[in-house]
Amino acid sequence: MENFIVSARKYRPLTFKSVVGQENITSTLQNSIRNNLLAQAFLFCGPRGVGKTTCARILAKTINCFALNAETEPCNSCESCRSFNQNASFNIHELDAASNNSVDDIRALIDQVRFAPQVGKYSVYIIDEVHMLSSSAFNAFLKTLEEPPAHAIFILATTERHKILPTILSRCQVFTFNRIRVDDIAKHLEYVAGCEQIQADPDALHVIAQKADGGLRDALSMFDQIVSFSGGAGITYEAVIDNLNVLDYDYYFRLTDYLLEASFSNCLLLFDQVLAKGFDGGNFLYGLADHFRNLLVCQDTATLPLLEVSMGVKSRYQAQSLQCKPVVLVRALELITKTEQSLRSGKNQRLNIELGLLQLVLLIHPPVVEAPAKGNLPVAAANPAPVPAPEKKTVVNFRAGNPIRTVSIQQHLKKPGIEPETEPVNDHSVKEALPEEPVTPEALRNAWKMYVQQVKNSGRVAMASALTLAEPQLNAASLIHYEVQNDSQLWELELEKANLLLYLRKSLKNYSLSIQLIKAEQAPEGKYFTQEEKIKALEARNPHIAELRKKLGLEPE
């Protein structure tokens, strides 16, 4: 029985060209060799499994090759290359600083540096996990690193650059290795599967690549694990999902369909299936946020390359994204973030997530308020004036003592040109004439206060405070202006506006009313001259301060 060699070793790159996902670094190193501008000390830093030690070995092999080809790659046929390929070269010395980090270890390495190589031009010293060296070992290494012999090349590798002494960094050329892209890892796994004559599902390879989180070595280890699990039957999507304990894409596509259908019961049943399979609720929310993010990315062809999934899954995302409004996806992501935060402080994780799912249903399908019954309407004129259609574009006005300048709320959204949702009030769809009795500013204020009281009685203290920060202003066109202090209040009141507007229309018997939210610019810091101004500024930033001050009966001195 032959000894098994793991794929990470068996398919380790032997040339710069075969290194995966680090083209900017390999091309720089090749140019340095080609132009005879090779430094004597390098620092390779980056996450684990991205090719730091591999590139160090290839560099050592290349600079000692006797017959480089036109692409500045080793020939693999000369005496030096053969010894490198057989791990028998005396020109390369590797030290693992994780277990050899004392002053004595460094001194032994320094003693070796004095001897010139027997074959080839350079002796290459690779120190892996160099950040593990003790301070004394670093200090003992400084002089040799600054003025090494002409035949010595030092390559330091680390996953934690911030732990390297500045005096070491200043003596090295620093190369930062990036996490490898999902597509690049998937292509390499496909290459390995072809070499091993293993049938592999592209969707399965993409899941492995995503799970590897940018590390090719981790991806190859998982690849070997799945091959062992399948027993030579090939790598299928189902095998990867089961073995790596990954939540299937299908759950999130189905859940989104249920949300779009307003089927809350199916959402709960699907979440129960997820829990029954042993998945954590926090991971479920993380995956749901990633799913909505992918749907948002699909809204614009320019951002489609950001979708790191297989072509089959990408087509499903594109099809489902056509059913979703960008503004709803943005608000859904905000809601999921709040739900994730509540999991840290709440004791009942399942209830918090189920409540979050219900809020998602209500966000996508706001409650529809029926128009008043025909018999309850006042007698209309023979030819009633047409009721103006509600504005499709929500506008926020910014003012600070200057003429009001109008800015669209579109500027707060991810994709320019997408208009926010219109309020979920369907009274304008009624063909019969609706009442439009005159409204006075005093009547508006009284109706507003009644609504605020209802909100406060329902326990929503923060929303009640947000509705008392300013006085509603009514103009001649039945347009109500209300001023808010920040973006947070703006979005919260946007969600509340539909219910508020319906209440005002019914109470004041005027269905031509509309509400426009105005955001006031903040006063510059250090411009509050009295204690009252300072307190008002704090209360404007946080409505809870005003509520707390009222409860405690605190007044400014």
**Alpha helix (H) residue ranges in 124-261:** 135-146, 166-169, 182-195, 202-211, 216-230, 237-244, 249-260
How much is the pTM?
Answer: 0.60
Structural domain of 203:
182-244
> Does a structural domain hold residue 420?
no
Per-residue confidence (pLDDT) for residue 510, from 0 to 100 = 86
Domain boundary among 217, 244, 271: 244
Mean pLDDT of 138-149: 86
Domain boundary among 244, 276, 298: 244
> Does a structural domain hold residue 109?
yes
DSSP letters spanning 236-271 = -HHHHHHHHT---HHHHHHHHHHHHTT-HHHHHHHH
Residue 173, pLDDT > 50, answer: yes
Among 181-190, 207-216, 236-245, 398-407, the minimum mean pLDDT is found in 398-407
Mean pLDDT of 46-56: 90
**282 and 316 both lie in a single domain:** yes
**165 and 237 both lie in a single domain:** no
**54 and 94 both lie in a single domain:** yes
**23 and 116 both lie in a single domain:** yes
**278 and 206 both lie in a single domain:** no
**96 and 223 both lie in a single domain:** no
Residue 278, pLDDT > 70, answer: yes
> Does a structural domain hold residue 64?
yes
CB-neighbour burial class of residue 81 (10 A; exposed 0-12, middle 13-18, buried 19+): buried
**165 and 20 both lie in a single domain:** yes
**87 and 172 both lie in a single domain:** yes
> Does a structural domain hold residue 510?
no
Using alpha carbons only, give the angle 333, 183, 286 rounded to the nearest 5 degrees.
25
Of 175-189, 338-352, 542-556, which has the strongest mean pLDDT?
Answer: 175-189
Per-residue confidence (pLDDT) for residue 198, from 0 to 100 = 87
**Alpha helix (H) residue ranges in 395-482:** 441-457, 461-466
Per-residue confidence (pLDDT) for residue 292, from 0 to 100 = 93
486-497 pLDDT, tens digit per residue, is 777 787 888 888
255-269 pLDDT, tens digit per residue, is 999 999 888 899 999
What is the number of structural domains in the chain? 3
> Does a structural domain hold residue 238?
yes
* Residue 128 near residue 42, CB atoms below 8 Å: no
496-506 pLDDT, tens digit per residue, is 888 888 898 88
Per-residue confidence (pLDDT) for residue 477, from 0 to 100 = 66
Among 179-188, 215-224, 229-238, the minimum mean pLDDT is found in 229-238
Domain boundary among 176, 196, 229: 176
Per-residue confidence (pLDDT) for residue 533, from 0 to 100 = 65
Q: Residue 2's pLDDT band (boundaries 50, 70, 90)?
A: low
Per-residue confidence (pLDDT) for residue 55, from 0 to 100 = 92
Residue 403, pLDDT > 70, answer: no
**100 and 141 both lie in a single domain:** yes
CB-neighbour burial class of residue 221 (10 A; exposed 0-12, middle 13-18, buried 19+): middle
Please report how many Cα atoms fall inside a 13 Å half-sphere around the Cα of residue 44, on the Cβ side.
27
Mean pLDDT of 364-392: 50
Per-residue confidence (pLDDT) for residue 396, from 0 to 100 = 37
> Does a structural domain hold residue 444?
no
**169 and 222 both lie in a single domain:** no
The domain that contains 189 carries what CATH number?
Answer: 1.10.8.60
> Does a structural domain hold residue 477?
no
Residue 155, pLDDT > 90, answer: yes
pLDDT over 70, % of the chain: 84
Higher pLDDT, 229 or 397: 229
Beta strand pairing status for 514-520 and 395-399?
A: parallel
Per-residue confidence (pLDDT) for residue 115, from 0 to 100 = 84
Residue indicated by tokens 């426009």: 516
Residue 439, pLDDT > 60, answer: yes
**233 and 273 both lie in a single domain:** no
70-81 pLDDT, tens digit per residue, is 888 888 888 888
Q: Give the span between the Cα atoms of 171 and 147, in whole angstroms.
A: 10
The domain that contains 23 carries what CATH number?
Answer: 3.40.50.300
CA torsion angle 80 86 92 98 (round to 10): 170
**297 and 315 both lie in a single domain:** yes
Q: What tokens does 314 get?
A: 């990408």
> Does a structural domain hold residue 128?
yes
Residue 420, pLDDT > 60, answer: no
The domain that contains 330 carries what CATH number?
Answer: 1.20.272.10
89-126 pLDDT, tens digit per residue, is 888 888 888 888 888 888 888 888 888 887 778 889 99
